[in-house]
Amino acid sequence: MNIRNRNLHMLFFTSMIILLITGFAVYFPHSWVEYLGSYSQIIFEYRTLIHRIAALVFIFTATHHLIYIIKAREGRALFHDLLPKWRDVLGPVNHLLKLAGINDPRPAANFEYHEKLEYWLTFIGTVLIIITGVILWLEDYFSNLELDISLVIHFYAGLLALLGMVVWNFTNLHPEFYFYRKEEELPCSREECVQCDACLEQKDARPHAWTYCLADNSERARAFLKRGVATCAEAQLLITDGSCQHSCLELATCASVCLYGSRIMNDEGLLELENDNCVGCGMCARECPTRVISMMPRTFFIHIMCHSQLPKFTASLKCPTQCRRCMMCQKRCPKEAISFNGHLPVIDYRKCISCGLCVSKCPVNIITDDLYQKRLPAEISEGCKGCGLCLRVCPVDAISGYPKERHVVDPQKCIACGLCVRTCKQSAVRLAWIDELVELVAK
Protein backbone atom coordinates (compact mmCIF):
# COMPACT_ATOMS: atom_id res chain seq x y z
CA MET A 1 0.00 0.00 0.00
CA ASN A 2 1.57 3.29 -1.09
CA ILE A 3 1.49 6.52 0.91
CA ARG A 4 -1.55 7.90 -0.96
CA ASN A 5 -3.68 4.87 -0.12
CA ARG A 6 -2.42 4.94 3.45
CA ASN A 7 -3.48 8.58 3.80
CA LEU A 8 -6.90 7.79 2.35
CA HIS A 9 -7.22 4.86 4.72
CA MET A 10 -6.45 7.14 7.66
CA LEU A 11 -8.92 9.73 6.33
CA PHE A 12 -11.59 7.04 6.06
CA PHE A 13 -10.87 5.85 9.59
CA THR A 14 -10.91 9.40 11.03
CA SER A 15 -14.16 10.37 9.29
CA MET A 16 -15.77 7.17 10.57
CA ILE A 17 -14.84 8.02 14.17
CA ILE A 18 -16.26 11.56 13.78
CA LEU A 19 -19.44 10.15 12.28
CA LEU A 20 -19.85 7.75 15.18
CA ILE A 21 -19.31 10.42 17.84
CA THR A 22 -21.61 13.00 16.26
CA GLY A 23 -24.20 10.35 15.35
CA PHE A 24 -24.42 8.80 18.80
CA ALA A 25 -24.73 12.32 20.27
CA VAL A 26 -28.19 12.48 18.66
CA TYR A 27 -29.23 8.99 19.63
CA PHE A 28 -28.04 9.44 23.25
CA PRO A 29 -28.40 13.20 23.88
CA HIS A 30 -28.67 12.90 27.68
CA SER A 31 -25.61 10.73 28.28
CA TRP A 32 -22.03 11.85 27.73
CA VAL A 33 -22.94 15.21 26.13
CA GLU A 34 -24.19 16.56 29.46
CA TYR A 35 -20.71 16.12 31.01
CA LEU A 36 -19.37 18.83 28.69
CA GLY A 37 -21.15 21.43 30.79
CA SER A 38 -21.81 24.85 29.22
CA TYR A 39 -20.16 23.74 25.97
CA SER A 40 -22.62 20.88 25.42
CA GLN A 41 -25.28 23.10 23.79
CA ILE A 42 -22.75 24.70 21.41
CA ILE A 43 -21.31 21.35 20.43
CA PHE A 44 -24.77 19.91 19.88
CA GLU A 45 -25.71 22.82 17.61
CA TYR A 46 -22.68 22.33 15.40
CA ARG A 47 -23.03 18.56 15.51
CA THR A 48 -25.10 18.39 12.33
CA LEU A 49 -22.60 20.46 10.34
CA ILE A 50 -19.64 18.39 11.57
CA HIS A 51 -21.51 15.15 10.91
CA ARG A 52 -22.29 16.11 7.32
CA ILE A 53 -18.77 17.32 6.58
CA ALA A 54 -17.42 14.02 7.90
CA ALA A 55 -20.04 12.22 5.79
CA LEU A 56 -18.78 13.94 2.62
CA VAL A 57 -15.20 12.96 3.45
CA PHE A 58 -16.39 9.42 4.15
CA ILE A 59 -18.20 9.23 0.79
CA PHE A 60 -15.15 10.69 -1.00
CA THR A 61 -12.76 8.05 0.40
CA ALA A 62 -15.22 5.22 -0.30
CA THR A 63 -15.71 6.44 -3.88
CA HIS A 64 -11.97 6.73 -4.40
CA HIS A 65 -11.53 3.13 -3.25
CA LEU A 66 -14.28 2.00 -5.64
CA ILE A 67 -12.59 3.75 -8.56
CA TYR A 68 -9.24 2.27 -7.49
CA ILE A 69 -10.44 -1.34 -7.56
CA ILE A 70 -12.15 -0.75 -10.94
CA LYS A 71 -9.60 1.25 -12.92
CA ALA A 72 -6.16 0.63 -11.40
CA ARG A 73 -4.37 -2.63 -12.24
CA GLU A 74 -3.10 -3.09 -8.72
CA GLY A 75 -6.58 -2.27 -7.41
CA ARG A 76 -8.16 -4.97 -9.57
CA ALA A 77 -5.51 -7.44 -8.44
CA LEU A 78 -6.21 -6.49 -4.82
CA PHE A 79 -9.95 -6.95 -5.29
CA HIS A 80 -9.38 -10.33 -6.95
CA ASP A 81 -7.30 -11.49 -4.00
CA LEU A 82 -10.01 -10.36 -1.56
CA LEU A 83 -12.78 -12.33 -3.27
CA PRO A 84 -13.99 -15.22 -1.07
CA LYS A 85 -12.84 -18.67 -2.19
CA TRP A 86 -13.75 -22.20 -1.17
CA ARG A 87 -10.62 -22.53 0.95
CA ASP A 88 -11.87 -19.64 3.12
CA VAL A 89 -14.77 -21.80 4.31
CA LEU A 90 -12.26 -23.96 6.17
CA GLY A 91 -10.30 -20.89 7.23
CA PRO A 92 -10.96 -21.20 10.99
CA VAL A 93 -9.88 -24.84 10.96
CA ASN A 94 -6.72 -24.08 8.97
CA HIS A 95 -6.01 -21.19 11.34
CA LEU A 96 -6.00 -23.53 14.32
CA LEU A 97 -3.84 -26.06 12.47
CA LYS A 98 -1.31 -23.36 11.60
CA LEU A 99 -1.14 -22.15 15.18
CA ALA A 100 -0.55 -25.75 16.23
CA GLY A 101 2.29 -26.06 13.69
CA ILE A 102 0.52 -28.83 11.77
CA ASN A 103 -0.40 -27.07 8.55
CA ASP A 104 1.65 -25.26 5.86
CA PRO A 105 4.03 -22.81 7.60
CA ARG A 106 3.59 -20.06 5.02
CA PRO A 107 0.32 -18.30 4.15
CA ALA A 108 -1.46 -20.03 1.28
CA ALA A 109 -2.82 -16.75 -0.08
CA ASN A 110 -2.24 -13.01 0.09
CA PHE A 111 -5.16 -12.60 2.52
CA GLU A 112 -6.43 -14.99 5.15
CA TYR A 113 -10.12 -15.62 5.77
CA HIS A 114 -10.38 -13.18 8.71
CA GLU A 115 -8.85 -10.35 6.63
CA LYS A 116 -11.33 -10.99 3.81
CA LEU A 117 -14.21 -11.10 6.30
CA GLU A 118 -13.12 -7.78 7.80
CA TYR A 119 -12.88 -6.19 4.35
CA TRP A 120 -16.29 -7.36 3.13
CA LEU A 121 -18.05 -6.42 6.36
CA THR A 122 -16.54 -2.96 6.02
CA PHE A 123 -17.48 -2.81 2.33
CA ILE A 124 -21.11 -3.82 2.89
CA GLY A 125 -21.42 -1.63 6.00
CA THR A 126 -20.06 1.37 4.11
CA VAL A 127 -22.62 0.92 1.33
CA LEU A 128 -25.48 0.67 3.85
CA ILE A 129 -24.29 3.71 5.82
CA ILE A 130 -23.97 5.86 2.69
CA ILE A 131 -27.36 4.87 1.20
CA THR A 132 -29.30 5.30 4.44
CA GLY A 133 -27.38 8.48 5.27
CA VAL A 134 -28.33 10.07 1.95
CA ILE A 135 -31.98 9.13 2.55
CA LEU A 136 -31.92 10.74 5.99
CA TRP A 137 -30.17 13.82 4.57
CA LEU A 138 -32.88 14.23 1.90
CA GLU A 139 -35.74 13.53 4.30
CA ASP A 140 -38.23 15.73 2.42
CA TYR A 141 -38.30 13.31 -0.50
CA PHE A 142 -39.10 10.14 1.47
CA SER A 143 -42.01 8.84 3.52
CA ASN A 144 -41.92 8.43 7.31
CA LEU A 145 -41.74 4.63 6.97
CA GLU A 146 -38.73 4.84 4.69
CA LEU A 147 -37.06 7.29 7.04
CA ASP A 148 -37.70 5.07 10.08
CA ILE A 149 -36.27 2.00 8.34
CA SER A 150 -33.26 3.98 7.15
CA LEU A 151 -32.68 5.36 10.65
CA VAL A 152 -32.65 1.88 12.19
CA ILE A 153 -30.27 0.50 9.52
CA HIS A 154 -28.05 3.60 9.76
CA PHE A 155 -27.77 3.31 13.55
CA TYR A 156 -27.02 -0.40 13.72
CA ALA A 157 -24.60 -0.24 10.79
CA GLY A 158 -22.70 2.45 12.71
CA LEU A 159 -22.86 0.38 15.89
CA LEU A 160 -21.43 -2.62 14.07
CA ALA A 161 -18.71 -0.39 12.61
CA LEU A 162 -17.79 0.73 16.13
CA LEU A 163 -17.65 -2.86 17.37
CA GLY A 164 -15.61 -3.83 14.32
CA MET A 165 -13.01 -1.14 14.97
CA VAL A 166 -12.75 -1.66 18.73
CA VAL A 167 -13.23 -5.41 19.07
CA TRP A 168 -11.82 -6.66 15.76
CA ASN A 169 -9.39 -4.12 14.34
CA PHE A 170 -7.77 -3.03 17.60
CA THR A 171 -7.58 -6.49 19.17
CA ASN A 172 -6.78 -8.54 16.06
CA LEU A 173 -3.03 -9.06 16.29
CA HIS A 174 -2.80 -10.86 12.93
CA PRO A 175 -0.60 -13.66 14.31
CA GLU A 176 2.26 -14.59 12.01
CA PHE A 177 2.28 -18.11 10.63
CA TYR A 178 5.96 -17.88 9.73
CA PHE A 179 7.26 -19.04 13.09
CA TYR A 180 7.89 -22.68 13.84
CA ARG A 181 9.32 -21.95 17.26
CA LYS A 182 8.37 -19.37 19.83
CA GLU A 183 11.03 -17.13 21.30
CA GLU A 184 10.35 -18.66 24.71
CA GLU A 185 11.69 -22.01 23.46
CA LEU A 186 15.19 -20.57 23.19
CA PRO A 187 17.54 -21.12 26.16
CA CYS A 188 16.74 -17.59 27.31
CA SER A 189 14.79 -14.53 26.23
CA ARG A 190 16.32 -11.62 24.33
CA GLU A 191 16.39 -9.49 27.50
CA GLU A 192 18.27 -12.21 29.40
CA CYS A 193 20.78 -12.91 26.61
CA VAL A 194 24.44 -12.74 27.66
CA GLN A 195 25.74 -14.26 24.38
CA CYS A 196 26.85 -17.50 25.98
CA ASP A 197 26.49 -19.21 22.57
CA ALA A 198 24.08 -21.86 23.88
CA CYS A 199 21.76 -20.90 21.04
CA LEU A 200 24.47 -21.57 18.45
CA GLU A 201 24.96 -25.08 19.77
CA GLN A 202 21.26 -25.81 19.08
CA LYS A 203 20.88 -23.88 15.81
CA ASP A 204 20.71 -26.96 13.57
CA ALA A 205 17.51 -28.02 15.33
CA ARG A 206 15.91 -24.59 14.98
CA PRO A 207 14.38 -22.75 12.02
CA HIS A 208 16.45 -20.44 9.87
CA ALA A 209 15.59 -16.88 8.82
CA TRP A 210 15.06 -16.68 5.07
CA THR A 211 14.73 -13.44 3.09
CA TYR A 212 12.32 -14.15 0.26
CA CYS A 213 13.57 -11.50 -2.14
CA LEU A 214 16.37 -11.46 -4.74
CA ALA A 215 15.96 -7.85 -5.87
CA ASP A 216 18.84 -5.40 -5.63
CA ASN A 217 17.33 -2.35 -3.95
CA SER A 218 20.61 -0.82 -2.77
CA GLU A 219 20.23 2.33 -4.91
CA ARG A 220 16.75 2.94 -3.56
CA ALA A 221 18.03 2.36 -0.02
CA ARG A 222 20.87 4.87 -0.51
CA ALA A 223 18.34 7.42 -1.76
CA PHE A 224 16.31 6.93 1.42
CA LEU A 225 19.40 7.37 3.59
CA LYS A 226 20.20 10.65 1.85
CA ARG A 227 16.69 11.84 2.75
CA GLY A 228 17.25 10.95 6.39
CA VAL A 229 15.13 7.78 6.32
CA ALA A 230 17.02 5.17 8.32
CA THR A 231 14.46 2.43 9.07
CA CYS A 232 12.56 0.04 6.84
CA ALA A 233 9.21 0.97 8.41
CA GLU A 234 9.67 4.64 7.47
CA ALA A 235 10.89 3.78 3.97
CA GLN A 236 7.89 1.56 3.24
CA LEU A 237 5.56 4.53 3.75
CA LEU A 238 7.54 6.67 1.31
CA ILE A 239 7.70 4.36 -1.72
CA THR A 240 6.09 6.42 -4.47
CA ASP A 241 8.32 5.66 -7.46
CA GLY A 242 6.31 2.64 -8.58
CA SER A 243 8.89 0.10 -7.37
CA CYS A 244 7.85 -3.08 -5.60
CA GLN A 245 6.54 -2.49 -2.08
CA HIS A 246 6.85 -6.15 -1.12
CA SER A 247 10.63 -6.46 -1.51
CA CYS A 248 13.53 -6.14 0.90
CA LEU A 249 14.17 -2.46 1.64
CA GLU A 250 17.83 -3.16 2.57
CA LEU A 251 18.00 -0.58 5.37
CA ALA A 252 19.15 -3.30 7.78
CA THR A 253 16.43 -2.97 10.41
CA CYS A 254 16.71 -6.73 10.78
CA ALA A 255 20.47 -6.46 11.35
CA SER A 256 19.94 -3.99 14.19
CA VAL A 257 18.01 -6.58 16.23
CA CYS A 258 20.18 -9.62 15.38
CA LEU A 259 22.47 -10.51 18.29
CA TYR A 260 24.61 -13.12 16.55
CA GLY A 261 25.54 -11.32 13.34
CA SER A 262 23.41 -13.47 11.09
CA ARG A 263 22.51 -10.17 9.39
CA ILE A 264 25.22 -7.56 9.09
CA MET A 265 24.99 -3.82 8.47
CA ASN A 266 27.79 -2.32 6.37
CA ASP A 267 29.37 1.13 6.76
CA GLU A 268 26.64 2.70 4.62
CA GLY A 269 23.91 1.37 6.87
CA LEU A 270 22.71 -1.21 4.33
CA LEU A 271 22.11 -4.93 4.67
CA GLU A 272 25.20 -6.57 3.24
CA LEU A 273 25.64 -10.17 4.35
CA GLU A 274 23.75 -13.09 5.78
CA ASN A 275 25.80 -15.89 7.30
CA ASP A 276 24.94 -19.15 9.02
CA ASN A 277 24.83 -17.88 12.60
CA CYS A 278 21.03 -17.74 12.75
CA VAL A 279 19.71 -19.22 16.00
CA GLY A 280 16.04 -19.04 14.99
CA CYS A 281 14.86 -16.40 17.47
CA GLY A 282 12.60 -14.77 14.87
CA MET A 283 13.35 -11.18 15.87
CA CYS A 284 14.30 -10.17 12.33
CA ALA A 285 11.03 -11.56 10.94
CA ARG A 286 9.02 -9.63 13.52
CA GLU A 287 10.82 -6.37 12.71
CA CYS A 288 10.50 -6.67 8.90
CA PRO A 289 7.65 -4.36 7.73
CA THR A 290 7.39 -5.97 4.27
CA ARG A 291 7.30 -9.51 5.70
CA VAL A 292 9.91 -10.85 3.32
CA ILE A 293 11.64 -12.71 6.17
CA SER A 294 10.23 -16.07 7.22
CA MET A 295 11.39 -18.65 9.72
CA MET A 296 11.72 -21.99 7.96
CA PRO A 297 13.20 -25.34 9.07
CA ARG A 298 16.66 -26.11 7.74
CA THR A 299 15.31 -29.31 6.20
CA PHE A 300 13.41 -27.22 3.62
CA PHE A 301 15.85 -26.86 0.72
CA ILE A 302 13.69 -25.46 -2.08
CA HIS A 303 12.58 -21.83 -1.68
CA ILE A 304 10.58 -19.46 -3.86
CA MET A 305 12.49 -16.22 -3.39
CA CYS A 306 9.71 -13.75 -4.19
CA HIS A 307 7.17 -12.16 -1.89
CA SER A 308 5.56 -9.76 -4.35
CA GLN A 309 1.78 -9.69 -4.53
CA LEU A 310 1.70 -7.89 -7.88
CA PRO A 311 -0.07 -9.57 -10.84
CA LYS A 312 2.07 -10.97 -13.65
CA PHE A 313 1.28 -8.16 -16.11
CA THR A 314 2.88 -5.57 -13.81
CA ALA A 315 5.61 -7.72 -12.26
CA SER A 316 8.07 -7.31 -15.15
CA LEU A 317 7.68 -3.54 -14.96
CA LYS A 318 8.37 -3.39 -11.23
CA CYS A 319 11.22 -5.85 -10.74
CA PRO A 320 13.16 -8.27 -12.98
CA THR A 321 13.30 -10.90 -10.22
CA GLN A 322 9.58 -11.25 -9.60
CA CYS A 323 7.45 -14.30 -10.30
CA ARG A 324 5.79 -14.09 -13.73
CA ARG A 325 3.18 -16.73 -12.88
CA CYS A 326 4.15 -18.85 -15.89
CA MET A 327 3.25 -21.96 -13.82
CA MET A 328 6.20 -23.94 -15.20
CA CYS A 329 7.21 -24.92 -11.67
CA GLN A 330 3.73 -26.24 -10.96
CA LYS A 331 3.59 -28.18 -14.22
CA ARG A 332 6.98 -29.86 -13.69
CA CYS A 333 6.51 -30.81 -10.04
CA PRO A 334 6.20 -34.64 -9.91
CA LYS A 335 4.42 -34.59 -6.55
CA GLU A 336 1.99 -31.69 -7.18
CA ALA A 337 3.56 -29.87 -4.25
CA ILE A 338 3.29 -26.42 -5.85
CA SER A 339 0.03 -24.49 -6.10
CA PHE A 340 -0.87 -20.91 -6.92
CA ASN A 341 -2.82 -18.82 -4.46
CA GLY A 342 -3.10 -15.20 -5.39
CA HIS A 343 -0.13 -14.30 -7.58
CA LEU A 344 2.55 -16.41 -5.92
CA PRO A 345 3.43 -20.10 -6.03
CA VAL A 346 3.36 -21.84 -2.66
CA ILE A 347 5.26 -25.02 -1.84
CA ASP A 348 3.57 -27.68 0.25
CA TYR A 349 6.61 -29.04 2.06
CA ARG A 350 4.68 -32.09 3.20
CA LYS A 351 4.70 -33.21 -0.44
CA CYS A 352 7.97 -31.66 -1.68
CA ILE A 353 10.79 -34.19 -2.20
CA SER A 354 13.45 -31.51 -2.95
CA CYS A 355 14.02 -32.89 -6.44
CA GLY A 356 14.89 -29.45 -7.85
CA LEU A 357 12.87 -29.77 -11.09
CA CYS A 358 11.06 -26.52 -10.35
CA VAL A 359 14.43 -24.81 -9.93
CA SER A 360 15.63 -25.88 -13.37
CA LYS A 361 12.41 -24.78 -15.09
CA CYS A 362 11.94 -21.31 -13.55
CA PRO A 363 12.59 -18.73 -16.34
CA VAL A 364 13.47 -15.91 -13.92
CA ASN A 365 15.51 -18.05 -11.49
CA ILE A 366 13.60 -17.06 -8.35
CA ILE A 367 13.45 -20.63 -7.04
CA THR A 368 16.61 -21.53 -5.14
CA ASP A 369 18.06 -24.88 -4.15
CA ASP A 370 20.24 -25.20 -1.04
CA LEU A 371 21.46 -28.55 -2.29
CA TYR A 372 22.70 -27.26 -5.65
CA GLN A 373 26.38 -27.49 -4.74
CA LYS A 374 25.86 -30.96 -3.29
CA ARG A 375 23.87 -32.46 -6.14
CA LEU A 376 26.30 -34.97 -7.65
CA PRO A 377 25.04 -37.35 -10.35
CA ALA A 378 23.29 -40.51 -9.22
CA GLU A 379 25.22 -43.77 -9.07
CA ILE A 380 23.76 -47.17 -9.93
CA SER A 381 25.43 -50.07 -8.17
CA GLU A 382 25.85 -53.66 -9.30
CA GLY A 383 22.68 -54.54 -7.44
CA CYS A 384 20.65 -53.17 -10.34
CA LYS A 385 18.34 -55.85 -11.83
CA GLY A 386 17.48 -53.84 -14.95
CA CYS A 387 13.78 -53.45 -14.09
CA GLY A 388 13.64 -50.08 -15.87
CA LEU A 389 11.66 -48.22 -13.20
CA CYS A 390 14.35 -45.56 -12.79
CA LEU A 391 14.58 -45.16 -16.57
CA ARG A 392 10.87 -44.43 -16.83
CA VAL A 393 10.73 -41.83 -14.03
CA CYS A 394 13.85 -39.86 -15.04
CA PRO A 395 12.59 -36.44 -16.21
CA VAL A 396 15.70 -35.65 -18.29
CA ASP A 397 16.39 -39.09 -19.86
CA ALA A 398 19.72 -39.37 -18.07
CA ILE A 399 19.39 -43.13 -17.45
CA SER A 400 19.81 -45.74 -20.14
CA GLY A 401 20.13 -49.53 -20.27
CA TYR A 402 18.62 -52.78 -21.46
CA PRO A 403 16.09 -54.91 -19.58
CA LYS A 404 17.60 -57.23 -16.96
CA GLU A 405 20.97 -55.49 -17.30
CA ARG A 406 22.61 -52.90 -15.09
CA HIS A 407 21.57 -49.39 -16.10
CA VAL A 408 23.94 -46.42 -16.31
CA VAL A 409 23.57 -42.69 -15.57
CA ASP A 410 24.76 -39.98 -17.92
CA PRO A 411 26.45 -37.48 -15.53
CA GLN A 412 26.09 -34.67 -18.10
CA LYS A 413 22.31 -34.96 -18.08
CA CYS A 414 21.59 -36.00 -14.50
CA ILE A 415 20.16 -33.21 -12.33
CA ALA A 416 20.28 -35.33 -9.14
CA CYS A 417 16.56 -34.96 -8.49
CA GLY A 418 16.41 -38.25 -6.58
CA LEU A 419 13.34 -39.69 -8.30
CA CYS A 420 15.30 -42.75 -9.36
CA VAL A 421 16.45 -43.35 -5.79
CA ARG A 422 12.90 -43.26 -4.49
CA THR A 423 11.66 -45.54 -7.28
CA CYS A 424 14.32 -48.26 -7.17
CA LYS A 425 13.02 -51.35 -5.33
CA GLN A 426 16.48 -52.91 -5.05
CA SER A 427 18.04 -49.80 -3.44
CA ALA A 428 20.65 -49.88 -6.18
CA VAL A 429 20.62 -46.13 -6.89
CA ARG A 430 22.46 -43.79 -4.55
CA LEU A 431 22.69 -40.02 -4.17
CA ALA A 432 25.06 -38.43 -1.69
CA TRP A 433 22.79 -35.49 -0.85
CA ILE A 434 19.91 -37.76 0.11
CA ASP A 435 22.10 -39.48 2.69
CA GLU A 436 23.02 -36.09 4.11
CA LEU A 437 19.36 -35.10 4.17
CA VAL A 438 18.47 -38.21 6.15
CA GLU A 439 21.18 -37.38 8.69
CA LEU A 440 19.98 -33.77 9.02
CA VAL A 441 16.36 -34.80 9.52
CA ALA A 442 17.48 -37.35 12.12
CA LYS A 443 19.15 -34.54 14.10
> Using one digit for the tens of pLDDT, what is the confidence trace for 105-137?
444 455 677 778 888 888 888 899 999 999 988
Q: List pLDDT tens digits, range 154-198.
A: 888 888 877 766 666 555 544 333 333 334 355 566 566 666 666
Do 300-370 and 374-442 agree at the fold level? yes
Q: What CATH number belongs to 374-442?
A: 3.30.70.20
- For residue 337, how many other CB atoms are within 10 A of its CB? 20
Query: What is the percent of the chain with per-residue pLDDT over 70, rounded to a whole number?
Result: 73
Residue bearing the bigger pLDDT, 5 or 285: 285
Report pLDDT for 180. Answer: 36
Region 363-373: mean pLDDT is 81
- The CATH class of the 3-169 domain is mainly alpha
- pLDDT value for 105: 44
Domain ranges of the chain: 3-169, 178-294, 300-370, 374-442
pLDDT one-digit tens code per residue, 14-71: 888 888 888 876 666 555 555 555 555 666 667 788 888 999 999 999 999 899 888 8
Q: Measured at the alpha carbon of residue 319, what is the angle toward residues 317 and 324, in degrees to the nearest 5?
A: 80
- CATH 3.30.1330.120 for the 300-370 domain, yes or no: no
